[in-house]
Amino acid sequence: MKTGEVDESFKEKLERIWTDKIPDRLDPDVKRYWRWWGLINFHIFFLPIAFPLLVMSGLSGAFFGLGICVVVYIPLILIYVIILFIYTNLLYNSFTFLLTEDMLLIERGVLFKTKTVVPYSRVQNVNIIQGPLQRLLGISSVYAQTAAVTYYGGRYGGGTGAHLPGIPFPDELAEIIMRKVRMYKLGEGLDEDVFRRDAEKFVDKYRQYIRTKRGY
């Protein structure tokens, strides 16, 4: 099966998995991370435009220049913050993932749903990324590098990895994935029952943490 192409029987299997199993969600703090980055990007885009406007307007008087800046900036930032708040809530609610026996499944997308299939047999490495803002919020991103990734659902395409932002126990998740990868690639004699028990223990711990963070 080529990258970007999904056999119909395989697609039906995936749909059954999504229907039968309860998907996991990201740490709610990822919404704060997205919002902070959104505000940073807004100002990176806005300031190069606002500064010349402020300088040119200020030539007619400091009060007039400040007034122009306030009239332009405040409505824009208010509208942007409202849109950003709504969008990050929608994005968070749309982003789910599943750890199955032989693959990692990710579903995301507000307007267009994308379902990413990451077979453990194709995973080459798992990286944990934590920038300063993520460190402040106590979350990390887990990135599974693969030879190929299959997308199905709303969009199709190829890729070289799968990204899970906002993960509270990144080391444990990475270890679970890599243990499965080693089983596929190196044939390590890890008992399936032992792996399943450890994976279920991690999932239970993860879900309890997310339920506590979400307040139920």
Per-residue pLDDT of the chain (216 residues; tens, 9 = 90+): 444 445 556 666 666 665 556 778 999 999 999 999 999 988 888 777 666 666 665 555 555 556 666 777 788 889 999 999 999 999 999 999 988 888 888 989 898 888 888 888 888 889 999 999 999 988 999 998 887 555 444 433 344 678 899 999 999 999 988 888 888 777 655 567 777 788 888 888 998 988 888 775
- Collapsing DSSP to helix, strand or coil, 157 comes out as coil
The residues, any chain, with a CB within 8 Å of residue 147's CB and separated by 6 or more, are: 122, 124, 160
E strand map for 101-183:
103-108, 114-119, 123-129, 140-146, 150-153, 161-167
**In terms of C-beta density within 10 A (0-12 exposed, 13-18 middle, 19 or more buried), how is residue 87 classed?**
middle
pLDDT for residue 62: 55
- Collapsing DSSP to helix, strand or coil, 103 comes out as strand
pLDDT for residue 60: 52
- Quick check: pTM over 0.85? no
- Collapsing DSSP to helix, strand or coil, 24 comes out as strand
> What pLDDT, in 10s, does the model give residues 135-155?
998 899 999 888 755 544 443
Are 214 and 28 contacting, i.e. CB atoms less than 8 angstroms apart? yes
Q: Which two tokens stand for residue 90?
A: 């929608």
pLDDT for residue 113: 86
pLDDT for residue 76: 84
